[in-house]
Amino acid sequence: MSKTQFDEAVQQATGRDPRYAAEAYAFLRDALDFTIRALQKRKVKIPGHVSGPQLCEGLREYALREFGPMVPTILEAWGVRTTRDIGEMVFNLIEAGIFSKSATDRVEDFENVYTFDDAFVKPFLPKRSITPTRPDSGNRLS
């Protein structure tokens, strides 16, 4: 797919469905490329396409590498709030003729793969270690 073809498909998708920014579609394309390379590296057989959950997982890994703790802010700015949104974008690109699908692929395949809080916030929360203190250790506030 050429850059021009992809840009035209994104323009068509954002014209029909303005919920998602053009940047989100470009990121989705890059996340798909990342996902395919990661699956090939792990020697996972890809039967002609990547599944919805596989793409969501790949996007999660790619987003964390690219944006770190800023992922929720960036995705929110692009209109992407759930894994279902990822699926909606994929199907917008399918409708625009730039992505393809198998006969069994459905937008529902992207539903609730993970929460954005679990995927993008929790990895950056401080890890709490609970170390009990002994009452006679002198760790008292006075």
Report the distance separating Cα 92 and Cα 6, nearest Å. Answer: 12
Report the distance separating Cα 139 and Cα 142, nearest Å. Answer: 10
pLDDT of residue 71: 97
Helices (H) then strands (E): counts for the chain: 6, 0
Report the distance separating Cα 98 and Cα 96, nearest Å. Answer: 6
pLDDT of residue 98: 92
Q: What is the pLDDT of residues 107-121, one digit of tens each?
A: 999 999 999 999 999
Return the DSSP state at 127: P
Report the distance separating Cα 34 and Cα 14, nearest Å. Answer: 23
Average pLDDT for residues 64-73, to the nearest whole number?
A: 97
The C-alpha angle with vertex 7 and arms to 4 and 11, in degrees rounded to 5, equals 140
3-state secondary structure of 18: coil
Q: Is the pLDDT of residue 85 over 80?
A: yes
Max avg pLDDT among 34-38, 78-82, 129-133: 78-82
pLDDT of residue 92: 97
Residue 9 · residue 93 · CB < 8 Å:
yes
Average pLDDT for residues 34-61, to the nearest whole number?
A: 88
pLDDT of residue 70: 97
Q: What is the pLDDT of residues 118-133, one digit of tens each?
A: 999 999 999 877 666 6
Q: Is the pLDDT of residue 142 over 60?
A: no
Q: Is the pLDDT of residue 48 over 90?
A: no
The H or E element spanning position 14 is: helix 3-16
